[in-house]
């Protein structure tokens, strides 16, 4: 296992907030419009449903070198559709991101090298064609950054990252 | 009971205690106007001449009464005309509910005739907004809208109602409870945190030698006048107010230094710059009150109380930030502080030293050529002739600032003015809204020649509603405040600030209104007296010196105590050069 288990982000300027919001049309727009209007710098915003169908969960990463995370939290509270805001930077939490990476495969030699990288990172190979491999990886951002860096020399065709999702421990 | 959406609409408004609405009809809101026909007598609809003025009137109605103001308009252009008024309410935390008609729900998104995305447009200028596409949501949404508008820090809420929702029928079940799990009017500090914050605040107060209280309209919104005065008098600490905070403490009160900021008196701004403790209550450190933040109150610690969590630490870091109602905080804090009534002798002496030269800088001290009238003299004359016992609605510009300087506010909440947005054209519709809120009161609109010309059509609303309001137009033939900035900061390059005006007396006559004109102070007094005796609306024009400036002035980018002031008298008696500002 390489580079895993580094739960708390090493980057102290990345602050994680979780907002539980009403699962209603327009709520994502209200949140993103708030960020734009207040000129808040947001690194990533991941939205998804929860076990309660009336509640969605947003994980928001604030770049605190540019934006005061406490002000982001307080402004989120003012939105009528925001039910709760948790600051996960203050508590032990699991922070994760998922990435899909499509890598160019030049020949069999490269293919086996790429497979080694995949194994080393405990990533998955989720699709394969004669000249490409799609890699799926879950981990913290540093881990995702690292595998992308490793795969770059083979030629990356496409990358998608979900942005951080997070949950407090315990 | 089976009711149409439109009938439900008026039922809810009556349930909320609404007795007046300001609006303008059109296609997408016709069913609601049709149902209004049956409730006229219980709810009075004021037909304004432009929807913006409906929103501004509703805003002023709220300020005059503390009851939610309601305005309404049709979809598309009617709705977008409301926008400036809604933004005004947002900036000044006014509780209004704006109702707009919307195209039928199956047409939403199709660019139907007069379709405009109102919830999209107003998202950043409302506390919250709703698009109602299902009649079964209507009553709940309206009740929530009134609740949200008033709760915590007040503000505007827009409800956009599709036309088919207005027409459909459903079983009406009155909604009596609001159940908004997400909405917390304030995010109160955790219970166990409060005593710690209060004792920290009390400690800072006990240690301060040069404290000053910065009072904003949050005190009014919290209905905390009594708690505030008790705190002020027990603490003995001098008070200064924001523009919207004027009226939270009698301006005759010996501890009231009056307004701070860009056009605050020099001794007030000097006091803030020199203070060792700021106690900010229900105010938000707007740039107009702080000047350049880099140099703001550098030696002071800060206690900041506001119901809106996002205001604390936004512009000025707080040493003790308390997110709660000013009323609750003062109730608990006052018993914790020592009685210092009559204290802070040295501090007051310092302030009084600065205060000493105020009169010498005052334009009123100048010897004026006969037949010349200055705008401040008009304000002073209105104050003296009325005994100050009126509701004043000012517009935006120089006259607005002179009103704060030359009208001594002794009555609670007697000034209604557009602060955060600075919306020209506010005074007349505001006076209309205020008169409905305070029918027994003498209500005055004071406007510049520019702002008044933005709201002239509402003269006919005044006539149609038979409203006895007194309208004073202070005519300096310029967009005065912009001209002043051009004079001081753009080398007197007067660009598009010359304002010509119609003959206001004839204009009044055309509306069937009494019109009068004054060109010197004696005439002004007479006009004011006659206007007050006249039982009906009056339009008064006061022709004043054209290039008088409002001083002191903190120019943009300057520190609060780096003010441009008027030269001290004695001066050459002739005007002109002598009226220029000098840098202190
Ligand atoms: C709707 C709107 N447009 C423009 C401005 C910018 N503005 C602020 S003060 C002012 C001049 C106002 O002139 P006038 O109404 O004659 O009043 P005075 O300053 O002369 O007292 C202007 C144009 C504004 N505040 N509001």
Q: B566 in a domain, yes or no?
A: no
Higher local confidence (pLDDT), B185 or A122 = A122
Is residue B522 located within the same domain as residue B383?
yes
| Residue B572, domain member (yes or no) | no
- H/E element holding B220? helix B218-221
Residue B338 lies in a domain: yes
Q: Is residue B501 part of a domain?
A: yes
C-alpha to C-alpha distance for A100 and A122, rounded to whole angstroms = 14
Predicted structure pTM score: 0.95
Strand partners for A45: A60
Tell me the C-alpha distance between B454 and B363, whole Å: 29
B305 located within any domain: yes
User: What whole-number distance in Å separates Cα of residue B244 and Cα of residue B94?
Assistant: 11
The pLDDT of residue B188: 61
The closest alpha carbon to B58, from B149, B137, B181, B179, belongs to B149
Shared domain for B375 and B485, answered yes or no, is yes
Superfamily of domain A2-91: ACT domain (3.30.70.260)
Lowest mean pLDDT among A62-71, B234-243, B403-412, B553-562: A62-71
Do B313 and A82 lie within an 8 Å CB cutoff? no
Comma-separated ranges of CATH 3.30.70.260 domains in chain A: 2-91
Query: Are B274 and B342 found together in one domain?
Result: yes
| B227 and B123 belong to one structural domain | no
Distance in angstroms (rounded) separating the CA atoms of residues B27 and B158: 18
Q: Say if residue B384 is in the same domain as residue B269.
A: no
Q: Between chains, do B182 and A68 touch, taking CB under 8 Å as contact?
A: no
**Where does residue A134 rank: exposed (0-12), middle (13-18), buried (19+ CB within 10 A)?**
middle
| Alpha-carbon torsion, ordered B561, B562, B567, B568, to 10 deg | 30
Q: Residue B42's domain spans which residues?
A: 2-171
As a whole number, mean pLDDT of residues A118-126 equals: 97
Please name the helix (run of DSSP H) or strand (run of DSSP E) that holds residue B281, with its range, or none.
Answer: strand B277-281
Report the C-alpha dihedral over residues B545, B547, B552, B557, rounded to 10 degrees: 160
- B366 and B350 assigned to the same domain: no
Q: What residues does CATH 3.30.70.1150 cover in chain A?
A: 95-168
Side by side, the strands of the sheet bearing B96-102 are B44-47, B20-23, B69-73, B96-102, B157-162, B128-132
Can you tell me the distance from the alpha carbon of B120 to that of B131, in angstroms, rounded to the nearest whole number?
A: 10
B129 and B211 in a single domain? The answer is no
- B183 pLDDT band, cuts 50/70/90, is confident
Q: Residue B578: pLDDT band by 50, 70, 90 thresholds?
A: very low
Contacts with B332 (C-beta within 8 Å, 6 or more apart), sequence order = B194, B198
The CATH number assigned to the domain holding B65 equals 3.40.50.970
Element (H, E) at B199: helix B193-207
User: Which of the 8 DSSP states describes residue B374?
Assistant: -
Find chain A residues with C-beta within 8 A of B126's C-beta. none
Question: How many Cα neighbours within 13 Å face the side chain of B124?
Answer: 10
**Catalytic residue annotation of B:** 51, 113-114, 163, 481
Q: How far apart are CA B324 and CA B153, in angstroms?
A: 10
Residue B573 in any domain: the answer is no
Contact B581, B553 (CB under 8 A): yes
Instruction: Label residues A24-45 b or e (16+ Cβ within 10 Å = b).
Output: eebbeebbeebbeeeebebbbb
Count of the separate structural domains present in chain B: 3
Give the lowest-confidence range in A66-70, A106-110, B241-245: A66-70
Tell whether B43 and B124 lie within a shared domain. Answer: yes
Mean pLDDT of B145-154: 96
One domain for residues B456 and B344: no
- Record: fold of A95-168: Alpha-Beta Plaits (3.30.70)
Decide whether any atom of ligand 1 lies within 6 Å of the B420 Cβ: no
- Which ligand 1 atom is at minimum distance from the Cα of B447? 15
Average pLDDT over all residues of chain B: 95
- Let me know whether B59 and B108 are in one domain: yes
Q: To test ligand 1's pocket by mutation, which of B451, B455, B553 has the most ligand atoms within 8 angstroms of CB?
A: B451
Q: Does the pLDDT of residue B579 top 60, yes or no?
A: no
Q: Are residues B372 and B245 in the same domain?
A: no
**Nearest alpha carbon to residue B347 among B203, B232, B211:** B211
Of the candidates B26, B75, B23, which has an alpha carbon nearest to the alpha carbon of residue B50? B23
User: For residue B453, how many other CB atoms are within 10 A of its CB?
Assistant: 18
Residue-wise pLDDT tens digits, A21-74: 999 989 999 999 999 999 999 999 999 999 999 999 999 999 999 999 999 999
Q: Distance from the CA of B425 to the center of ligand 1, in angstroms?
A: 9
The pLDDT of residue B207 is 98
Residue B52 domain-assigned?
Answer: yes
Whether B142 contacts B99, CB under 8 Å: no
Supply the pLDDT for residue A8.
40
Kindly indicate whether the ipTM for this predicted assembly is greater than 0.95, answering yes or no.
no
**Chains A–B, number of C-beta pairs less than 8 Å apart:** 40
Inside any domain, residue B581: no
Q: In a 3-state reduction of DSSP, which class is residue B219?
A: helix
């Amino acid at each position: 296992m390489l580079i895993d288990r580094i739960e708390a982000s090493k980057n102290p300027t990345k602050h994680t907030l979780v907002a539980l919001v009403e699962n209603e049309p327009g709520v994502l727009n209200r949140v993103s419009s708030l960020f734009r209007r207040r000129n808040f710098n947001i690194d990533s915003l991941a939205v998804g449903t929860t076990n309660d169908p009336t509640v969605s969960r947003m994980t928001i990463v604030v770049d605190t070198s540019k934006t005061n995370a406490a002000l982001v939290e307080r402004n989120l509270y003012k939105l009528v559709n925001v039910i709760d805001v948790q600051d996960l930077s203050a508590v032990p939490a699991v922070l994760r991101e998922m990435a899909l990476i499509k890598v160019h495969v030049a020949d069999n030699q490269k293919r086996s090298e790429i497979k080694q990288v995949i194994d080393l990172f405990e990533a998955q190979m989720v699709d394969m064609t004669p000249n490409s491999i799609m890699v799926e990886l879950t981990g913290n951002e540093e881990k995702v950054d690292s595998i992308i860096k490793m795969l770059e020399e083979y030629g990356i065709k496409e990358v998608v990252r979900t942005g951080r999702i997070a949950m407090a421990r315990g | 009971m089976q009711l149409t959406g439109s009938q439900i609409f008026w039922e809810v408004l009556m349930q909320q205690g609404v007795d007046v609405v300001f609006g303008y009809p059109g296609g997408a809101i016709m069913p609601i106007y049709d149902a209004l026909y049956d409730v006229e007598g219980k709810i009075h609809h004021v037909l304004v001449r432009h929807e913006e003025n409906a929103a501004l009137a509703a805003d002023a109605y709220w300020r005059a009464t503390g009851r939610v103001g309601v305005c309404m308009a049709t979809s598309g252009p009617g709705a977008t005309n409301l926008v400036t008024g809604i933004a005004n309410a947002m900036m000044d935390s006014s509780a209004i509910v704006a109702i707009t008609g919307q195209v039928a729900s199956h047409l939403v998104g199709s660019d139907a005739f007069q379709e405009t995305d109102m919830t999209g447009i107003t998202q950043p200028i409302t506390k919250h907004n709703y698009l109602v596409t299902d009649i079964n949501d209507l009553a709940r949404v309206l009740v929530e809208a009134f609740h949200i508008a008033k709760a915590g820090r007040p503000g505007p809420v827009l409800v956009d109602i599709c036309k088919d929702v207005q027409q459909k029928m459903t079983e009406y079940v009155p909604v009596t409870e609001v159940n908004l799990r997400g909405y917390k009017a304030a995010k109160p500090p955790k219970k166990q945190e409060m005593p710690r914050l209060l004792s920290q605040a009390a400690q800072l107060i006990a240690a301060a030698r040069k404290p000053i209280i910065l009072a904003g309209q949050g005190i009014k919104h919290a209905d905390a006048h009594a708690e505030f005065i008790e705190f002020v008098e027990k603490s003995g600490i001098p008070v200064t107010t924001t523009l919207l905070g004027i009226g939270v403490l009698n301006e005759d009160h010996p501890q009231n230094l009056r307004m701070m900021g860009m056009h605050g008196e020099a001794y007030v701004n000097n006091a803030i710059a020199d203070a060792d403790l700021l106690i900010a209550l229900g105010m938000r450190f707007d740039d107009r009150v702080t000047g350049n933040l880099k140099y703001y109150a550098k030696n002071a610690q800060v206690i900041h109380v506001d119901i809106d969590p996002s205001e604390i630490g936004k512009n000025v870091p707080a040493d003790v930030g308390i997110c709660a109602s000013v009323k609750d905080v003062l109730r608990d804090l006052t018993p914790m502080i020592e009685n210092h009534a009559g204290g802070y002798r040295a501090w007051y002496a310092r302030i009084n030293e600065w205060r000493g030269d105020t009169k010498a800088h005052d334009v009123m001290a100048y010897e004026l050529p006969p037949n010349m009238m200055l705008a401040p003299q008009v304000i002073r004359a209105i104050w003296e002739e009325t005994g100050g016992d009126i509701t004043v609605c000012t517009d935006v510009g120089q006259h607005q600032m002179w009103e704060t300087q030359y009208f001594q506010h002794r009555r609670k909440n007697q000034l209604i003015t557009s602060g955060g947005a600075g919306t020209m054209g506010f005074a007349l519709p505001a006076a209309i809204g205020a008169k409905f809120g305070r029918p027994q009161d003498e209500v005055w609109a004071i406007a510049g020649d520019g702002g008044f010309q933005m709201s002239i059509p509402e003269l006919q609303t005044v006539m149609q509603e038979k409203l006895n309001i007194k309208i004073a137009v202070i005519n300096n033939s310029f967009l005065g405040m912009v001209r002043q900035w051009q004079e001081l900061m753009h080398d007197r390059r007067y660009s598009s600030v010359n304002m010509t005006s119609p003959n206001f007396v004839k204009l009044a006559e055309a509306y069937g209104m009494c019109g009068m004109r004054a060109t010197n102070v004696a005439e002004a007094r007479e006009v004011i007296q006659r206007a007050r005796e006249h039982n009906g609306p009056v339009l008064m024009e006061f022709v004043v010196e054209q290039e008088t400036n409002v001083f002191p002035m903190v120019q943009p980018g300057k520190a609060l105590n780096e003010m441009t002031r008027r030269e001290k008298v004695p001066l050459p008696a002739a005007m002109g050069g002598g009226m220029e500002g000098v840098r202190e």
